[in-house]
Copies of this chain bind each other. A is one copy, B any other.
Amino acid sequence: MDQARIADLRRTYRDGLLEDTLPFWIEHCVDREFGGFMMSLDRDGSVIDTDKGVWQQARFTWLLGELYNNVERRGEWLELAMHGASFLDNHCFDPTDGRMWFHVTRQGEPIRKRRYAFSECFAAIAYGELYQATGNSEFADKATNAFERFVQHNLAPQGVQPKFTDVRPTKSLGFPMMTIVTAQELRGAIDFPQANEWIERSIQTIERDFLKPDLQCVMETVGQGGQILDHFDGRLLNPGHAIEGAWFIMHEGHLRGRRDWVSLGCQMLDWSWHRGWDAEYGGILYFVDMRGLPVQEYWHDMKFWWPQNEAIIATLLAYHLTGEAKYAHWHQLAHDWAYQHFPDPEKGEWYGYLHRDGRLSSRLKGNLWKGPFHMPRMQLNCWKILDQMQLR
């Protein structure tokens, strides 16, 4: 990757973040009447559902704080982050058990809580940024509490009926992955003392139970002891998700000087790239079966925005950390395909949902699942990686 390409990519990510993604959301999603953010946006940014997803409230709050802390001390970003945190505080926790909701009305009345506790991860990192931005220790306490609730609920759920019986107990890649990235964020933001311990334990779990060298793949769901469950759900691979986990681990290896973790992350990327990259049409497929059998999920062959975001980060970081030419090549493939198919130059931001061949499936710009998170995180991370590469 030559310096001209690096400078060009850096401009694409940086300008995309600051001049497209961020203005699109700030212009359209801020609810000045009831607080928080309305993220269910049509192509042109018009609100088509006033309900609020708790993940997206917390994620946008995190992003704004992250930008304030790491890019520029813009008052608007801090004000909006505080606006998001107020809505979290006032409407996103269930006072009866302290757990967080998943979906609330515009006014903040609860609609749905999930069995799992990922809202808590996103709240933790949002509060962490606000501590870093303001020095107010209440935010650090809230961040710690949210993280602890996340891990406690995942390790020993209380007060929820499990989705499955205990006949075939499973565990998912999502929990150790989210533990890693949340602990990484809190280590940076609030100097969270248990961060390294949680991260090490989670990397060990992933390596021991989810990586299958004989099959050359990263499992999404395994038995409690890491065994493969030869059923639809057990064989289901989510390559974009494993690629996201890959760069969390590479990043940790880089920060901590653990080359073995960099290699582990690269291994996860390599296997998942071979499983998930669509050699026929380009882009990362959503789901594939471990043995190439049909998948039960209907959208298995669609191209969602976020696996492409994660693949762009992971390949660029792998190239940065190893210098291997194949990663520069994969980065170019992933970047070029995504930028050819997802952006909406007329109305801004990216579409989220394409068919396998890159045709548009939905013109939605946001919903309970898509908001200002994977895209701007990719833009910010890649910009910062490219800054490092320019310095070499």
Contacts and interface: CB of A to CB of B under 8 A. Distances in A.
Contacts of A82: none
A232 B367 contact: yes
Interface residues of A, number: 39
A296 B109 contact: no
Contact of A168 (B40, B105, B368): B105
Given A112-B165, A298-B299, A299-B298, A231 B362 contact: no
A363 interface: yes
Given A48-B293, A298-B299, A362-B294, A112 B231 contact: no
A167 B110 contact: yes
A194 interface: no
A364 interface: yes
A255 interface: no
Contacts of A109: 165, 167
A49 interface: yes
Contacts of A367: 232, 296
A176 B326 CA distance: 58
Given A111-B165, A161-B161, A231 B298 contact: no
A187 interface: no
Interface of A: 40, 42-43, 48-51, 105, 109-113, 160-161, 163-165, 167-168, 231-232, 293-296, 298-302, 353, 355, 361-364, 367-368
